[in-house]
Amino acid sequence: MNRPITHPLTGWRPDRWRDFPAEQLPTYGDADALAAVERRLAAAAPVVPIAEIGALEQRLAAVAAGRAFLLQGGDCAENFDDAIAQRVARLARLFDAMAAPIEARTGRAVVRVARLAGQFAKPRSASSEQRGRIELPAYRGDIINGQGFSGPERAPDPERMIQAHIQSVGTAATLAAARHGCAPIYTSHEALLLPYEEALARRDADGRWWATSGHFLWLGDRTRQLEGAHVAFLEGVANPIGVKCGPGLAPDALAALVDRLDPAERPGRLTLIVRLGADRVEAQLPALFAAARGRAVSWIVDPMHGNTEKVEGRKLRRYDRILHEVRSFFRLARAGGVVPGGIHLEMSPDAVTECLGGGGPAAVADLDRAYRTACDPRLNGDQALRLITDLEQTL
């Protein structure tokens, strides 16, 4: 893409990531079709207004300082057949129901950030999927390819970016309309599909670049390489951003990422999202806290992604492990003089049966009843509310 204007401070441009190795990106068969889609998106409306992105940074600065609590959650992946108005209304009600006891317990205002209006691209551990003798590319989220197990469905199609953008604009508008009289719900997603993110980068009057695909963007645990393309993109946009911190993240690598992504030490800029797993959090978290000591980052816990199991061919998560990791995170944070800033959950307001325990399915066989996720298992609405109740002594 042709973007002649450079960043006034660093020479950063939205296409700079192209000079670096990129993990997890699809290979599109038709380069001309891809370029045509990028041009259309570069001329398209932002999904969210820049002014709102700045407002979220202020709220997140309060989280970092211990004056507000970040509740981030939603589906693992959105789908093109989601019923938007209904989903937004139900998710907003779940956020409200969870926020009330958190606010009562902590005295801190809850900042609501949904995995929504752009959470379409999924990193995958395996690049292909085998069924019987047939091997096809893995499903990577509706913005990239289709879930159906056929060659045409699994071929990456750039037109899907246009559909994702249209759905995201509609979802963000629905969220914005729902905020009258209620707390705002901000949007967030993993900044995985860089051609899409680049095309939606916009410059403000002061010359700063913003990702307008969502308010808050995060780096996934598989795409946070210091010398990689995803870091090279996110370092240049002014949005508040997150980094998933998994078991493979060494403390010195974290320190280098914090320097790189928040060199100006802007409160609210950087949220570190711990997803070590219930079995590893105790051993690994204190050193990660130490690596970012003295920096104005927010720390929150994602107790979902370090606690995924595969049983009888199906991904599941256990409520008890999830609760355990959250409790450990809060205890270790306080012991280490760190503000525990909030929680990041994969959750659905619907009565899905994807996680075991916590009042939901008791046995693996019970998961069949309503196992509907496009990717990872989510807490259902009752399990998510119960988690907040069970954290009463923790928060």
Contacts with Co ion, 354-393, as mask; x by CB under 5 A? ----------------------x-----------------
What number of chain residues touch ligand PEP (CB under 6 A)? 10
Give the residue closest to ligand PEP by C-beta: 220
Restricted to residues 18-77, the positions that interact with ligand PEP (CB under 6 A) are 76
Structure-token pair, residue 219: 């780096």
CB atoms within 10 A of CB 298: 28
Minimum distance from residue 190 beta carbon to ligand PEP (Å): 6
Q: Is 123 in the site for ligand PEP (CB under 6 A)?
A: yes
Closest to ligand PEP by CB, 179 vs 314, is 314
Interface map 231-270 toward Co ion (x if CB under 5 A): ----------------------------------------
Q: What separation in angstroms does the CA of 316 have from each of 99, 313, 391?
A: 26, 10, 22
Q: Each residue of 122-155: b (16+ CB within 10 Å) or e?
A: bbbeeeeeeeeeeebbbbbbbbbbbeeeeeeebb
The correct pick among 15, 221, 262, 354 for binding ligand PEP (CB under 6 A) is: 221
Contact 152, 159 (CB under 8 A): no
Q: Is 305 in the site for ligand PEP (CB under 6 A)?
A: yes
Q: Do 290 and 332 meet the contact criterion of CB atoms below 8 Å apart?
A: no
CA distance 5 to 32: 24
Closest approach of ligand PEP to the CB of residue 183, in Å: 23
Q: Is residue 275 close enough to count as binding ligand PEP by CB under 6 A?
A: yes
- Counting contacts by CB under 6 A, is residue 189 touching ligand PEP? no
Amino acid at 277: G
Q: Which stretch binds ligand PEP (CB under 6 A): 39-47, 79-87, 202-210, 217-225?
A: 217-225
Give how far Cα 131 sits from Cα of 126, 134, 195, Å. Answer: 13, 5, 30
Q: How many residues bind Co ion (CB under 5 A)?
A: 2
DSSP secondary structure letter of residue 20:
S
CB of 375 to Co ion, least distance (A): 6
> Rounded to the nearest 5°, which phi and psi values hold at 344?
-120, 120
- Which residues of this protein are in contact with Co ion, per CB under 5 A? 76, 376
